[in-house]
Amino acid sequence: MVKEYEGKTEREAIEKAVADLGMEPDQFDVEILESEQHGFFFKRGVVKIRVYVNEPHHQTASQPAQAIEPSGDIEQQLIGFLKKTIELMGYPGEVAITFREKGKIGMDIQSEHSAILIGKKGKNLDALQMLVNVFASKIGGSSYSGKVIIDTENYRQRREENLIRMATKTADQVCKSRSSKLLEPMNPFERRLIHMALNDMDEVITKSEGEGLYKQVRIIYKGSNS
């Protein structure tokens, strides 16, 4: 889906898009169409933007993920643990198993409080995922090596697609300016995604910078000294 908005500033135009779409700014792409000045004695700026929304995911975001029957006692306990955790947080919902792969299972939360459970840049969802994985290791013992992926409103896939688009756009800017740019702080999985997405671009290299769980990826033009 593509829509256009305008405002006195870029920020105002984006705020109109956010209000109209009911989405966060990082959930859609923005293209600046034009910035005009009108009037002779008093100039008034007009910024027009075009917003690109990944329509299939936007349409299905509120639809339940396809659930599968839990397999074994561990998965039943994981469902119960996550459901109880979000209830204690004050944001109740339903929890289901959505996929099962070698060494990995997916769990989905259906809740009217999904936006809060996701949190800014998915940090609340990451925290819940970490808790569930700690619990999985505890009940599974030393023999358990699986990883649990927690999602809601198809956030993970939308976030991945947005990050790849952002990284590609930033890499193009870096090539034009022959410099380097830092991306926003990301968790380890998201940083790996960026490194892999830009791995085939001969003109740039990537490296992680910072301390702690949320580090930043720097995209560097190979011929620069940055």
Q: For residue 148, give every residue at least 6 positions away whose Cβ sits within 8 Å of its Cβ, in sequence order, or none.
A: 78, 104, 105, 106, 107, 129, 132, 133, 136
Query: Which pTM was predicted?
Result: 0.63
pLDDT digits (tens, 9 = 90+) for 157-212: 888 888 999 999 999 999 999 999 999 998 888 999 999 999 988 999 999 999 88
Can you list the pairs that 142-146 forms with residues at least 24 positions away whose Cβ atoms lie under 8 Å? 144/74, 145/103, 146/103, 146/104, 146/105
Count Cα atoms within 13 angstroms, Cβ side, for 143: 2
- ∠ Cα 217 222 223 (to 5°): 135
Tell me the C-alpha distance between 127 and 171, whole Å.
Answer: 30
Task: Of 33, 80, 79, 25, give the one whose Cα is nearest residue 53.
Answer: 25
- ∠ Cα 204 53 65 (to 5°): 100
Which of 44-48, 121-125, 180-184 has the least mean pLDDT? 44-48
Confidence grade of residue 40 (pLDDT, cut at 50, 70, 90): very low
Cβ distance 208 to 191 under 8 Å? yes
Task: Say what the pLDDT of residue 143 is.
Answer: 64
Q: For residue 94, give every residue at least 6 positions away whose Cβ sits within 8 Å of its Cβ, in sequence order, or none.
A: 83, 109, 110, 111
Higher pLDDT: 63 or 87? It is: 87
Task: Say what the pLDDT of residue 33 is.
Answer: 67
Tell me the C-alpha distance between 107 and 198, whole Å.
Answer: 29
* Phi/psi at 53 (5° precision): -115, 135
Task: Of 136, 42, 30, 126, give the one whose Cα is nearest residue 81.
Answer: 136
Confidence grade of residue 36 (pLDDT, cut at 50, 70, 90): low
Task: Say what the pLDDT of residue 14 is.
Answer: 81
Q: For residue 22, give every residue at least 6 positions away whose Cβ sits within 8 Å of its Cβ, in sequence order, or none.
A: none
Give the mean model confidence (pLDDT) for residues 115-125: 90
pLDDT at 72 over 80: yes
